[in-house]
Amino acid sequence: MCGRFTLAPASGQLFGTRFGLAEDVEVTPRWNIAPSTSIPVVRREDGSNRADFMHWGLVPRWAKSPADGARMINARAETLTEKRTFSPLLESHRCLVPADGFYEWQAREGAPKQPWFFHQPDDAVFSFAGLWTTWQPDPDVEPLESVTIITREPNDVVAPVHRRMPAILAQEDEEPWLDAGTGVEEALSLLSPVPDDRLAAVPVSTRVNSVSNDGPELLQPVSPDDAARESRLF
């Protein structure tokens, strides 16, 4: 799964340039992005890329409450076409979720789970493949746009830590993913494993376990023993 990620781009990595936006957007650096918060999303509208902020946790049109989105922060790539929630969105509601890293937790016998941070070796911004929708059960209710991050089987870098990972798009595949002219089967073929040399893995502090902690210090490498001691404090 993907339950936490980071987006704290360096000063030179402007969103407008990186994602071909008609207008740039201001992104507040965040090192511990959690579900049920507002996150930047890139989508295609009228032939142009635009960035909007959406609720992380897909709220289907048929949902009774936005709280239903808590169960849909992720969507499995292998079953997208089988699920009534996600299948209709594959044709025209594909999007990018910009990130520059993500966390996964490694189970350890007799010890707390160890968080690991995964990022590109050059710390560049990349994108997760996502799906979005609009929830508005009644005309008098303010519409809510929400997004889910697609996951897939892990590559060899993530596999020792977790059995799932977010679907990371190659940069050259981002435009085809956004393009409604790209058929569903072709779009699904873009969700291929990210090459192992595009990801680096670092064990980090269990401070990331708390959503109240958010700062660059979360990315500092730690030893598993140090993390175990920290887990008794945080």
Give CA separation, 61 vs 8, 135, 206, in Å: 32, 5, 36
Strands 48-56 and 144-152: parallel
Strands 126-135 and 94-99: antiparallel
- And the tokens for 148? 């889910």
**Beta-carbon neighbour count of residue 63 at 10 Å?**
19
38, 39, 42, 43 alpha-carbon torsion, rounded to 10° = -30
Q: Is 172 exposed, middle or buried (0-12, 13-18, 19+ CB in 10 A)?
A: exposed
Task: Give the catalytic positions in this structure.
Answer: 2, 104
**H or E stretch at 133:** strand 126-135
